Amino acid sequence: MALALTGCGGAGNRAAEAADDEPAPAAAQQSADVDATPAGPATATTSPEAPAEPQVTTKTITETKPIPYATRTVQDGSLAKGVTKTRTKGVAGLRTLTYQVTYTDGEQTSKKLIKSVVTRAAVPKVVAVGTKTAPSDDCDPNYSGCVPIASDVDCAGGSGNGPAYASGPVRVIGTDIYDLDRDGDGVACD
């Protein structure tokens, strides 16, 4: 930095020139150094924050699920062959399940079954299937087993002269119209 002094005498000029040759005081140099440093973004020194602890909660939840019923089939001699009839209507059962559910920060992270109880047992459906055979049109309904319908029927292998024959033993379930049960025990052609 130079100061130009105007005036008389060269002493003033020489003093100004000498001042230019002398180094600047340290305080002025420091100030110049600070001004010469480019200004950058200010950085604040803060301590890093610790991550937040996850929030873990548990709940007990109860659910119910149906138990399907089974179907059982039984034979019934009082129903005609091929006929079906429902004897017992099936009813679904009910099972109660208890779970322990864990949530981490509001989201489910595990589900553990802790109890399973049959609240209501299932009732099986029972279906009867007929096995009774209808009497043939060619058999007399007074006998169990086929005795043909004819003007006269005799026991096969006996002394009768037919024209039709019955193979025994045959049970008499009605009237013994052909006199096949000679001893009256209910069984003919024995």
Output the pLDDT for position 21: 52
Residues whose CB is less than 8 angstroms from the CB of residue 76 and which lie 6 or more positions away in sequence, other chains included: 85, 128, 129, 130, 131, 132
CATH 4.10.80.400, domain 56-132, yes or no: no
Residue 3 predicted with pLDDT over 90: no
Output the pLDDT for position 36: 47
The domain ranges of the chain are 56-132, 135-190
Output the pLDDT for position 71: 96
In whole angstroms, give the CA distance from residue 76 to residue 88: 14
Residues whose CB is less than 8 angstroms from the CB of residue 108 and which lie 6 or more positions away in sequence, other chains included: 101, 102
Per-residue confidence band for 82, with pLDDT thresholds at 50, 70 and 90 = confident
In this structure, the strands spanning 71-80 and 153-155 are unpaired
Average pLDDT over residues 54-82: 92
Per-residue confidence band for 28, with pLDDT thresholds at 50, 70 and 90 = very low
Among 42-46, 57-61, 128-132, 183-187, the range scoring the smallest mean pLDDT is 42-46
Q: For residues 96 and 117, is the Cβ–Cβ distance under 8 A?
A: yes
Taking CA atoms, 162 is separated from 18, 100, 165, 184, in Å, by 170, 85, 6, 21
Residue 127 predicted with pLDDT over 70: yes
Residue 80 predicted with pLDDT over 90: no
Per-residue confidence band for 11, with pLDDT thresholds at 50, 70 and 90 = very low
Per-residue confidence band for 182, with pLDDT thresholds at 50, 70 and 90 = confident
**DSSP-based three-state secondary structure for 13:** helix
